[in-house]
Amino acid sequence: MAKDYYKQIRTILYSNDSDEVKQDKLLTFHENDIANVVEHLSKNERLKLYKIIGVDRTAEVFSYLDNVDDYVDEVGFDKAADIIERMDADDAVDVLDELEDDDKKEILDRMDSESQEDVKLINSYDDEQIGSKMTTNFITVDKGATIKSAMKELVSQAAENDNIQTIYVINDDDTLYGLIDLKDLIIARSNDSLEDITMTNYPSVLDTAIVSDIINDIREYDMDSIPVLTSENKLVGVITYSDIIESVDDELSDDYAKLAGLTEEEEDDESILGSVKKRIPWLLILMFLGLLVSSVTGTFEKVIVALPAVVFFQSMVLDMAGNVGTQSLAVTIRTISDDNSKRKTFNLIWHEVKIGFINGLILGLFTALFAAIYLGIARKPIEAGLDFAWSECFKFGGILGTSLLVSMTLSSFTGSALPLLLTKCHIDPAVASGPFITTINDLIAIAVYYSLSMLLFMIL
């Protein structure tokens, strides 16, 4: 999209129009589109652009920039301080976190005291807490205000805070009393009571709440912002709809990283060493699990020697068990994340086990027939040292089909039960995903396949 606007914005910058006319023309572009163009401009063109659109709009553009530290260096500390202190506090924190510690301190020292306090407040929370995602950009009025004075206060505060769709009503002790929708305040008559248009039953979140625990709750509310309260019911910030979307995106990125067997999400500009550090912990765990699978396989050495055909079909049994387990895992994690789901733990596990059993039965019957015919056509002897016999082919096909049935049923149980168990232990169920659950199911499939091969050939 940046390429679509690049020529248009450069044409405006180099036109003979006055800066006021250029500013009006640039108002037709969204700040995100301008930010996408900024990286394609030269330093002089960027500085010229910032001057034309003004500090307030430059602050909006900076909130969309990647690698913002490069652009901060261009404008200098004083200008950067002016820009960053005009951002929402949460955006300002994000920008400052990208800077070197010395640069960050220089800019903070040049920002006004109110902005410094806002940054300090948000930085006081851990990254997982909702307080680190909130903004201090909101409008408040006193509970005892009249409609006229509330409107006057709204106009006054809107110069600094543009999040005006919801107005927050504060008690004398600074606790939150209620919320007012902007539309209700606008259409209210001057002789109406402020309390009549104040909503006192409203959704809210605790500032120390863990984002991943409550994100599903707050995204269900069709509100521009949700108040963030302390344990004493004091309003310290709000979570806007854009903050909610960003938090959901962060959670999805985190879950995706875990699905890939990473300790956390990798950035596009991640260093080689940084990527190695994020990947190696799970790889080490999976390596030891792989050694366990190999050790279990080694205990069936006599079966492999006596029945060479088992090795030929081993990968198929392992793959099908892993596929079924991953399917159950995906359904279970989705159900866990869906607060509207009424399915109970036992019912969910039983549901997945039944599906795994039926799929295993269908595929087991098909595979048993296919394997028997294939071995018969290939005229491969099943047991070492014995001549070829069709009866042996069908006997082995039955063992293979039974192994698929049992391993797929057990893998369905593992894929649904493990994330539910982790959830009960307050551990993110995503850690049970991807390579981890596949390796566990490999272990189950190996044990089932070789055990049945040994037992059934001895019996039959």
Q: Do domains 2-125 and 139-259 have the same CATH topology?
A: no
Q: Check whether 35 has a pLDDT greater than 80.
A: yes
Query: Tens digits of per-residue pLDDT, 112-158?
Result: 888 899 889 988 988 788 888 888 888 899 998 999 999 998 888 88
- Model confidence pTM above 0.85: no
CB burial string 197-212: b at 16+ within 10 A, e below: bbeeeeebbebebebb
Quick one: pLDDT band at residue 271, thresholds 50, 70, 90? low
More confident of the two residues 175 and 329 = 175
**Those residues with Cβ within 8 angstroms of residue 95's Cβ, 6 or more apart along the chain or in another chain:** 62, 63, 68, 72, 84, 87
User: Is the distance from CB of 86 to CB of 59 less than 8 angstroms?
Assistant: yes
198 pLDDT higher than 80: yes
Q: Are 360 and 324 in contact (CB under 8 A)?
A: yes
Whether pLDDT at 215 is above 80: no
**In the prediction, which pLDDT does 270 show?**
57
Instruction: Look up tokens 């985190």; give the residue.
Output: 254
pLDDT tens digits for range 370-420: 888 888 887 766 666 566 677 778 888 888 899 899 999 998 898 888 878
For the ranges 21-30, 206-215, 331-340, the maximum mean pLDDT occurs at 21-30
Q: Which of 455 and 229 is assigned the larger pLDDT?
A: 229
Ordered by start, the domain boundaries in the chain are 2-125, 139-259, 272-459
Please say whether the beta carbons of 297 and 450 come within 8 A: yes
CA atoms of 86 and 50, how far apart (whole Å): 14
**Arithmetic mean of pLDDT over the chain:** 81
Among 308-317, 318-327, 430-439, whose mean pLDDT is lowest? 430-439
CA distance 154 to 137: 13
Is pLDDT at 249 greater than 70 in this prediction?
A: no
The fold of the 272-459 domain, in CATH, is Tetracycline Repressor; domain 2 (1.10.357)
Instruction: Using the predicted structure, report yes or no on whether residue 342 has a pLDDT greater than 50.
Output: no
Domain 2-125 has CATH 1.25.60.10: yes
Angle at 76 between CA 73 and CA 78, to 5 degrees: 140
pLDDT at 1: 44
> How sure is the predictor about 243, in pLDDT bands with cuts at 50, 70 and 90?
low
The three state secondary structure string of the chain is CHHHHHHHHHHHHCCCCCHHHHHHHHCCCCHHHHHHHHCCCCHHHHHHHHHHHHHHHHHHHHCCCCCHHHHHHHHCHHHHHHHHCCCCHHHHHHHHHCCCHHHHHHHHHHCCHHHHHHHHHHHCCCCCEHHHCCECCCEEEECCCCHHHHHHHHHHHCCCCCCCCEEEEECCCCEEEEEEEHHHHHHCCCCCCHHHHCECCCCCEECCCEHHHHHHHHCCCCCCEEEEECCCCEEEEEEEHHHHHHHHHHHHHHHHHHHCCCCCCCCCCCCHHHHHHHHHHHHHHHHHHHHHHHHHHHCCHHHHHHCCHHHHCHHHHHHHHHHHHHHHHHHHHHHHHCCCCCCCHHHHHHHHHHHHHHHHHHHHHHHHHHHHHHHHHHCCCCCCCCCCCHHHHHHHHHHHHHHHHHHHHHHHHHHHHHHHHHHHCCCCHHHHCCHHHHHHHHHHHHHHHHHHHHHHHHHC
Does residue 253 surpass a pLDDT of 60? Answer: no
Lowest mean per-residue pLDDT among 47-56, 328-337, 401-410, 426-435: 426-435
The verdict on domain 139-259 having CATH code 3.10.580.10 is yes
* pLDDT tens per residue, range 273-295: 766 676 676 667 767 777 777 77
Question: Does residue 256 carry a pLDDT above 70?
Answer: no
Residue % of the chain over a pLDDT of 90: 17
**φ, ψ of residue 137 in degrees (nearest 5):** -90, 90
For the stretch 70-107, pLDDT in tens is 888 888 888 989 998 888 888 888 888 888 888 888 89
